Each structure stands twice: as structure tokens, then as C-alpha cells.
Amino acid sequence: MASDLDRAIYELFADKEELLPLWLRLRPAIEGLGDDVRLEVRERYVQFDRGGREFAIAEPTAHHRMELGLHNPGLPFDERFREAVAFGSRRITHRVSLPEDAEIDDELHARLHDAYVLAREGEPR
């Protein structure tokens, strides 16, 4: 039997099924950062937090893409890791567009890890 969380995720991807394989790669990569990673489905995205501090969000969008927001204050912006203007909460600083066939490469994994670590270093909530 599916949990409430599983049902909410299914509903989030209901008209974007092509992004489910990417989600199935992304979710364990983020949850694998630590036993204290929690996820919560919001209206349009999934929020990942640690100790109540949001550090990443994943939003399935049209055009076969998932938008990933990261809490990476102090890291530079570039073509791939763009400034996150009006995306998610005010904690999200960077945004990266992931096509449906994207892999979780070393650079993305490092940015996810940085966001995870920063969520625990006593920043204000």
C-alpha cells in the first residue's frame, strides 16, 4: 500500500511521467547524503531539509526538465548553476535545469553535498 508521501509524489509527477526516471536517480542521491534528510511534497515541488533547514528543492516542469534549487550561498553563479530568483524559498540561492536524461554527475553531487552540510552548520532558520 502506498504511503501519503508516495501518493503526493505520484500526483506531482502525474502529467510529467517522463521525469520519473530522473526523480528515481535524484531522490536517493539526495537522501543518501545522510540519515537526517527529510522530504516534503509542496504544491509544485519536493523540499529536502535537514533539521528543519531546507537545502534543496526539485520541481518537475514542462519541456522534459526538472528544476533543482540548492542552498549554496557564497558559491559563484555560472551557466549551469544560475542564480535562483523567485524560485522556492528565500534559502534557495542556485538553480540548475536537469533534462530528463540527466545524470547526477560529480559536480552536481558536490553542490548537493555542500547544501546539505550548510543546512547543519548552525545557520539561522
Spans of all domains in the chain: 4-118
Quote the CA–CA distance of 60 and 77 in Å, as a whole number.
22
User: Which pLDDT value is given to residue 33?
Assistant: 97
For 107, the enclosing helix (H) or strand (E) is helix 106-118
Q: Would you say residue 121 has pLDDT above 90?
A: no
User: Which pLDDT value is given to residue 122?
Assistant: 53
User: Which pLDDT value is given to residue 125?
Assistant: 43
Q: Would you say residue 89 has pLDDT above 80?
A: no
User: Which pLDDT value is given to residue 86?
Assistant: 82
Q: Would you say residue 124 has pLDDT above 60?
A: no
pTM: 0.90
User: Which pLDDT value is given to residue 123?
Assistant: 52
Which tens digits make up the pLDDT trace of 9-63?
A: 889 988 899 999 999 999 999 999 999 999 999 989 999 999 999 999 999 998 8
Contacts of 42 (CB under 8 A, 6+ apart): 57
